[in-house]
Chain A
Amino acid sequence: SAVISQKPSRDICQRGTSLTIQCQVDSQVTMMFWYRQQPGQSLTLIATANQGSEATYESGFVIDKFPISRPNLTFSTLTVSNMSPEDSSIYLCSVRRGQGNYGYTFGSGTRLTVV
C-alpha cells in the first residue's frame, strides 16, 4: 500500500495568513483526498484532487479558502487561506489503499493552530 509523506507536521500561524500543506505519495495515484478534523469532531472530507483537473469540493468548502494543487500523480498541496482561529484543526491527506482494496492510507497529518 502507498506511503504518504505530509508536511509540515504542525504549525502555529497568525490570523490572516496562509499555510500550504504538502503531501507526497510514493506511488502514482489517481485521486487524493484532503480531510479536516476539528477538535472533538470526526474527519470531514474537504475535497478530492484529481491530477490535471480542478479539485471537487464538498459542501461547506470553497476553492478560495482551500485552494488545492495536483501537478502530478504523486503530489498535492492544500492551502488554508486567510486563516482564522476556527481553522485550527488537523489536516490530513489520503489516497486509496492499493488496487482492489477498499479504504485509504492517510498521511500523518498537519496540526494547525491559528492565533
Chain B
Amino acid sequence: DQQVKQNSPSLSVQEGRISILNCDYTNSMFDYFLWYKKYPAEGPTFLISISSIKDKNEDGRFTVFLNKSAKHLSLHIVPSQPGDSAVYFCATFQGGSEKLVFGKGTKLTVNP
C-alpha cells in the first residue's frame, strides 16, 4: 500500500516552460516532504523540501507547494531547462521515524 503516490510516470515539456510534478500522500500525519532528482547511473540527490507548517517553499527555479487538505504536493520548475531532464521522486518520513518512503518517480524530459 503506497503511502506516497506519483501517478504520472512521465512528463515532457519544452525548454523555458513550466514543469509541474505532482505527488499525493495518504497519511495526514506526514509533516515533512522532500523532492529528489535522479540522473541515470547516479544516486538520488536532494532538491528541495517543505514542512507542513508551510504551504510553499522556493529555491531558485524550484518551488514546492503543499496542500494539506488535499494531501497533495507539487514541484514547479520555472523555467525548465534540458539539464532538468531526470527522474523526480517525492518522499516523506514514515510514521515519525527517520525512514524515508518514496513515490515511484516521474521521468521529466525537457526538450530543447
Binding site for B on A (CB under 8 A): 4, 6, 9, 31, 33, 40-45, 48, 58, 92, 94, 96-97, 102-109, 111
Which one of B58-66, B70-78, B102-110 is at the A interface?
Answer: B102-110
A40-B104, A102-B49 given; A109·B34 CB < 8 A: no
Are A9 and B41 in contact, with the CB atoms below 8 A? yes
- Complex: A48 Cα to B98 Cα, angstroms: 10
Minimum-distance CB pairs A-B, first 10: A106-B43, A42-B102, A43-B102, A42-B104, A103-B46, A108-B43, A103-B34, A106-B44, A109-B43, A107-B43
Which residue from B9, B41, B46, B99 sits with its C-beta under 8 Å from A33?
A: B99
Are B34 and A102 in contact, with the CB atoms below 8 A? yes
Report, as a range, how many residues of chain B touch the other chain.
20 to 34
Closest Cβ neighbor of B3 among chain A residues? A42
Task: Report how many A-B pairs have Cβ atoms within 8 Å.
Answer: 59
Are A96 and B98 in contact, with the CB atoms below 8 A? yes
- Complex: A45 Cα to B49 Cα, angstroms: 20
Are A109 and B41 in contact, with the CB atoms below 8 A? yes
Which residue from B2, B32, B41, B100 sits with its C-beta under 8 Å from A104?
A: B100
The interface residues of chain A lying within 8 Å CB-to-CB of B98 are: 31, 48, 96
